[in-house]
Homo-oligomer: A and B are copies of this chain.
Amino acid sequence: MNAEPFLQLDRVIHEKGRLAIMSLLAASPQLAFTEIRDTLEMTDGNVTAHLRTLHEAGYVAVTKAFQEGRQLTSYALTPPGRKAFSAYIDLLEQIVAQAKTK
């Protein structure tokens, strides 16, 4: 068995909550906090903590804007975030392929 794909898995993305958020953001130009929370059935606290970790890793950009007098915060993958997610998915694909050839 080739151990490389496991060793290379990005710990920031691998945590299952963050993997779900990264997958969701990869499918949209940007999303509001409530869209992420409701789609993934997560608590406010979990979403906040995971988004902070992803933001600090440089994978998620935060945009704050006023819309109809209310502040609206939206989240989007950055180019490095998209690249890291794509590399991570490639590794998962290798792990699945290894498992299937047994």
A residues near B, CB below 8 A? 1, 3, 6-7, 9, 11, 14, 16-17, 19-20, 23-24, 26-27, 39-41, 85, 89, 92-93, 95-96, 98-100, 102
Which residue of chain B has its CB nearest to the CB of A101?
B27
Copies of this chain in its oligomeric complex: 2
Docked-complex contact A6 and B96, CB < 8 angstroms = no
Given A85-B99, A96-B89: A1 in contact with B16 (beta carbons within 8 A): no
Docked-complex contact B11 and A16, CB < 8 angstroms = yes
Docked-complex contact A39 and B102, CB < 8 angstroms = no
Q: A92-B92, A93-B96, A96-B96 are in contact. List 8 more A-B contacts (CB 8 A).
A: A1-B23, A3-B40, A6-B19, A6-B20, A9-B16, A19-B95, A23-B95, A89-B100
